Amino acid sequence: MLNKIYSQGLKLVIAAGLLLCFVLIRFFETTLFYDPFLAYFKGDFNQMPLPAFETFRLVLNLLFRYGLNMLISLGLIYLIFKDRIMIQFSIFLYLIAFLVLIISFFLVIHFYGSTNNFLLFYIRRFLIQPIFVLLFIPGFYYQKLRK
């Protein structure tokens, strides 16, 4: 009984630590990552032209931020479900999503410029925020209930 209480308490502490990592990434985003779109999307971006950016540096920083969020998300998923196959499937989904999103991000920039800013805003949001973990955890939980 005591071991079960200790185990659950430890899981909660680790989960809180992982959630704190998400908060820290968000809090230090301006110092950790190169992203000229941070300031752009905080203003009235519908009336402004796109900011100048270095493509290679932006891709690397988006990959770095996406990767950090992915690793923390995978930690949460493993902590909740303890299933290696689920983790492998999650990694596959995260990689496919990154490729689709980064290609979409630059296609919107290249072909639409500053005429479709809301689409650019939401694509970028999926790249820099841990939104997929909010989709995966309930989906995996539902899948586990169905088995």
**DSSP secondary structure string, the chain?**
-HHHHHHHHHHHHHHHHHHHHHHHHHHTHHHH---THHHHHHS-GGGSPPPP--HHHHHHHHHHHHHHHHHHHHHHHHHHH--HHHHHHHHHHHHHHHHHHHHHHHHHHHHHTTS-HHHHHHHHHHHHS-HHHHHHHHHHHHHHHH-
Confidence (pLDDT) at 84: 94
For residue range 26-77, what is the model confidence (pLDDT) as tens digits?
Answer: 999 999 999 998 888 887 777 778 888 999 999 999 999 999 999 999 999 9
Confidence (pLDDT) at 9: 85
Confidence (pLDDT) at 26: 94
Confidence (pLDDT) at 29: 93
Confidence (pLDDT) at 5: 64
- Mean pLDDT of the residues in the chain: 90
Per-residue pLDDT at 20 exceeds 90: yes
For residue range 70-126, what is the model confidence (pLDDT) as tens digits?
Answer: 999 999 999 999 999 999 999 999 999 999 999 999 999 888 876 778 888 899 999
